[in-house]
Amino acid sequence: MTALRWDIVAQIEACADMAALAAFFADAIAPCGYTNSAVSAYLPTDKGPAPHLFFTNTPESWRRDYIERNMSAIDSIISESRRRIAPFTWTELRADVPLPDEELPLRALVDEWGLKDGFVVPIHGPGGYFGVASLVSTRELPPPSAEQRAWLHMLSFLTHERCRALEGVESRSRLPEPLSVRERDCLRWVAAGKSDWEIGRILGIAPTTVKFHIERARNKLGVHSRAQAVARLFLWGGS
């Protein structure tokens, strides 16, 4: 699995422009049943966060309606992504958050567009940086497996990082503090799908020590989840 993910990193890094990256992302999420996507960021400004669309392959009419009617201001996907770290599906969001009255016009548009399901990956960075990868489908999908969630999470984060690099938006910097050998080892085994207990058995350390090393690595890498820590490690050539 690590080799597969490193191959994906190399393919994403090879995308020379946004059009190539959007096409690659569309092909990568298609086997999971997602037909359209959008990757965006909300950049800090003096007047508050400003939306910035990196790419989308949604129909022009969808983009026009969403942007011209300022739907991001009432979209619970955006508001929930601001406060969540883990990815979530539309079904999970609807179960957790009642539909507010002000969002009814957006829900009507979603129904008009024929969208049935979605998977959302929140992305947070330093200084209030906030991004979203939104994957949608025109048919209802079964709940994603744990492996699919991890795959889509990592894929979305890597794609978002490449978007930032291509447009020069808070491009990733050098690692401020090097990871220790043990921290790298733990993250590599996380990438292979191992639990803290399994990693501890492999490395001959306690599961609590494994968790400690992973959390230290995550903090050094400036990310909010293990999947993003693995992705950033790969981006810095730590595979």
Alpha carbon 118 to chain centroid, angstroms: 13
In this structure, the strands spanning 36-43 and 130-137 are antiparallel
User: Residue 59 pLDDT > 60, yes or no?
Assistant: yes
* Residue corresponding to tokens 């690692």: 175
* Position 170 confidence tier, pLDDT thresholds 50, 70, 90: low
Question: What does the block give as tokens for 171?
Answer: 């491009």
186 touches 153 (CB < 8 A): no
Calpha distance 232→9 (Å, rounded): 10
Of residues 125, 215, 186, the one with CA closest to residue 161: 125
Number of other residues whose CB lies within 10 A of the CB of residue 132: 23
Question: What domains can be seen in the chain, in order of their start residue?
Answer: 12-167 (3.30.450.80), 181-235 (1.10.10.10)
User: Residue 44 pLDDT > 80, yes or no?
Assistant: no
CA separation (Å) from 165 to 16, 21, 136, 173, 215? 10, 12, 24, 10, 26
- pTM for the full model? 0.77
Calpha distance 64→25 (Å, rounded): 22
User: Residue 174 pLDDT > 90, yes or no?
Assistant: no
pLDDT tens digit string along 75-100? 888 888 888 888 999 999 988 888 77
Within 13 Å and on the Cβ side, how many CA atoms surround 154? 26
111 SS3 class: helix
Q: What is the mean pLDDT of residues 6-25?
A: 90
Q: What is the mean pLDDT of residues 175-183?
A: 79
Question: What distance, in Å, lies between the first and last C-alpha atoms of the chain?
Answer: 12
- Out of 124-133, 165-174, 191-200, 224-233, least confident range: 165-174
Share of the chain above pLDDT 90, in %: 37
Q: What is the mean pLDDT of residues 130-147?
A: 92
In the chain, how long is the greatest CA-to-CA distance? 57
Q: Where are the alpha helices (DSSP H) in 2-134?
A: 2-13, 18-29, 60-68, 76-83, 90-96, 104-113
Amino acid at site 204: G
Residue 177: which region, alpha, beta or left (left: phi > 0; alpha: psi -120 to 50)? beta
pLDDT tens digit string along 223-232? 777 877 877 7
